[in-house]
A and B are shown apart, each in its own frame.
Chain A
Amino acid sequence: MLRYLGKRFLLILPTIFVPLILVFLLLRLSPGDPAGMMLGDQATAEQIAALRTQLGLDQPIFVQFLLWLKGIVTLDLGNSIFFREPVMQIIPRYAGVTILLTLVALTLAVLIGVSMGLISAMNRNKPIDRGVVTTAVLGISLPEFWFALLLIFLFAVTLRWFPVAGYNPPSAGIVAFAATIFMPAMALGVRQSALMTRMMRSSMLDVLNEPYITTARAQGLPESTVIGRYAMRTAAMPVITVAGLSAGYMLGGAVTIEIIFALPGLGRMLVEAVGRRDYPLVEGGVLTISLVLAVLNLAIDLIYAILDPRIRYQ
């Protein structure tokens, strides 16, 4: 078990570093001079050159890379060029919102996907099944931002249940938090929940044809046990895989959603930092997202190993 998790961990390292290296190169190789931007239009060439030296931007790119690598290993990501304070202090202020948003969206997506898929599979080819399948297709084809606007129109403008935008942290009370997180999480999760519905349905239908389900029935076990324990145990596996992938999509989708709902999250922070050529902050943001993704993936692997003994022994 430990060996398996260790192996999974090693496999995850590239997923952290490859995006980081890409970001490093993209920022350095794209046009635009951060020193110039920071100092404004009136700055003299001398002032800009001095700042460049201070930021290490005049060094050859591989030296910059080594310095950058050293920063990551020592957890010193430098100062934000714009905020002029350490990146390591800025990130936590934004990361919490994004992580919470993703987790809530993921939970909603799994709950909706699993229950809808199950209902659909248990009523195969009946009207309710057709309804669920059609809705799922619709959900997959909906663009997130459009669905977000639809939610705002329905729940905030027409029904006035939730505020149009803004964010209350959980510390402000669970109801206040839920009121601001529900719509963004739904918007972020709708497509994934539709994917999971379809995955759950087909996976459950496959599993119900397996001989071990017939065995469970032939042993006289009640249908609730047969479905809930014997079938779900194996049918859930592909859904868990999808959930892992979904988490990745959601972290990416959070950028749009945070902007639409004015959430102070990493996504919005990143977009702004990119606009300001704030290299250290962009790199810090990407590092955080990669780390969150890696942790999520490890968690999925752990769930897999718990559910399927065959994996543990590999």
Chain B
Amino acid sequence: MTAHIAPLPADLVSPQTERPTVLAVEDLGLSLRNADGLLPIVTDVSFSIREGEAVALVGESGCGKSITASAIMGIAPDNAVITGTITLNGKVISGLSPRDRRRLCGRHMGFIFQEPMTALHPTLSIGRQMTDTLRHNLGLSHGAATDRAAELLGRVGIPRARDILKGYVHELSGGMRQRVMIALAISCGPSLIIADEPTTALDVTIQAQVLDLLDDMRRELNLAMLFITHDLEVVGDFCEKAVVMYAGDVVERGLSADVVRAPAHPYARGLIDAVPAHDDGRTRLTPILGTVPPVGQWPEGCRFAPRCSRADGQCGTRPSLERHGPTDARCWHPLETMP
């Protein structure tokens, strides 16, 4: 890695700085309104994605990564109160009406879910689901939409596309289902794809196929991709940048190579150490003690402090996301970067 002399926020450091920014999220906050008032779910989330770039949003269940994605898509729950700014292709979309937000879906943003079996309609044919989208978003005729759907299925590596269009999701294998989901997401030419744990439900060999396909699509279509995952190892292979979330906060942000190899935040380090690594003779893993605090029970100050071996009195105040070595981290006592 090149040594960074000026401490620019790591978010701005990109190997292809000339590429335009597709998505910029600034100080995004999301709270759910319930009987007791506002319950914060996500706070101060900031990151950006450039054209053709894949950014990982990493964290364990309950860290707020999926609801961040739904806030970007504009499909957050009705009782969500969203603050901060979301900019898509230079246009601020966070203030738009729900109806205008919906118009951006499909045409400008595509979504890929974890479980294609439940994310595709069980009793509408694959073709119907694809042509509904194509006809609505692109104003295609039925015939043209069917042709385009078949072409898209071929493009994501599905043989006998015309037959598959007549079929239903339960007739397909897990890998094929996720390919259909990908075809649907890219069908109307979006510039941003949000993929929420797209390979978690798949077997390891199929997982690799689907990751390859996503990677190909990103390169061919120059897509900006937000890749939500709990698996830091996938991040290293697949994404240029990584944003690590913990208890609704971004705790670390930077180039994924740096985040995976030399994280500054103790939580990111803990996530890496907790996974049994290949070619590793360790007889014990290094787990993170305790459990993720549930929403509504976040500690004051640094939310990771109660589980952190480096915590002291200073951690009672909330740290900000600052540059430490090659990455940005929200920590008073970041880990030293190894040379």
Contact = CB atoms under 8 A, between A and B. Distances in A.
Asked if chains A and B are in direct contact (CB within 8 A), the reply is: yes
Interface of A: 210-212, 214-223, 225, 229-230, 233-234, 307-310
Contact of A212 (B104, B118, B125): B118
Interface string B90-104: 000000000000111
B168 to A, nearest CB: 5
B138 to A, nearest CB: 10
B102 A220 contact: yes
Given A217-B102, A218-B75, A234 B122 contact: yes
A223 B107 CA distance: 16
B239 to A, nearest CB: 21
A219 B133 contact: yes
A211 B113 CA distance: 8
A229 B132 contact: yes
B122 A220 contact: no
A220 B107 contact: yes
B184 A219 contact: yes
Interface in B98-149: 102-107, 109-111, 113, 115, 118-125, 129, 132-133, 136-137
A58 to B, nearest CB: 59
Contacts of A229: 124, 132
B226 interface: no
B100 to A, nearest CB: 11
5 contacts: A212-B120, A212-B121, A219-B111, A309-B123, A309-B170
A72 to B, nearest CB: 39
A308 B235 CA distance: 39
A309 B126 CA distance: 12
A220 B123 contact: no
A190 to B, nearest CB: 31
A221 B123 contact: no
A219 B188 CA distance: 9
Nearest to A310: B170
Contacts of B73: 218
A309 B107 CA distance: 29
Contacts of B113: 211, 214-215
Contacts of A310: 122-123, 168, 170
A212 B105 contact: no
Nearest to A308: B123
Interface residues of B, number: 31
B146 to A, nearest CB: 16
A216 B123 contact: no
A23 to B, nearest CB: 40
B107 A225 contact: no
Nearest to A213: B121
A220 B118 CA distance: 18
Contacts of B170: 309-310
A226 to B, nearest CB: 9
Contacts of B102: 217, 220, 222-223
B96 to A, nearest CB: 13
A234 B123 contact: yes
Contact of A220 (B119, B121, B136): B136
A225 B129 CA distance: 11
Contact of A214 (B75, B109, B124): B75
Contact of A211 (B119, B125, B184): B119
A220 B105 contact: yes
B124 A233 contact: yes
A285 to B, nearest CB: 39
A55 B113 CA distance: 72
Contact of B106 (A212, A218, A230, A234): A218
A220 B132 contact: no
B123 A218 contact: no
Contact of A230 (B124, B137, B188): B124
Contacts of A234: 121-123
A4 to B, nearest CB: 15
B111 A218 contact: yes
Given A220-B133, A233-B124, A212 B168 contact: no
A220 B100 CA distance: 10
A221 B105 CA distance: 8
A217 B118 contact: no
Contacts of A210: 118
Given A218-B106, A309-B125, 18 more contacts: A210-B118, A211-B113, A211-B115, A211-B118, A211-B119, A212-B122, A214-B75, A215-B121, A216-B121, A219-B110, A220-B105, A220-B136, A220-B188, A233-B124, A234-B123, A309-B168, A309-B170, A310-B170
A223 B188 CA distance: 18
Contacts of A308: 122-123
B137 A212 contact: no
A308 B122 CA distance: 8
Given A220-B188, A222-B102, A215 B123 contact: no
Contacts of B115: 211
Contacts of B120: 212, 215
A9 B113 CA distance: 40
B150 to A, nearest CB: 18
B111 A233 contact: no
Nearest to B70: A214
Given A212-B121, A233-B123, A308-B123, A217 B168 contact: no
B194 to A, nearest CB: 8
Contacts of A309: 123, 125, 168, 170
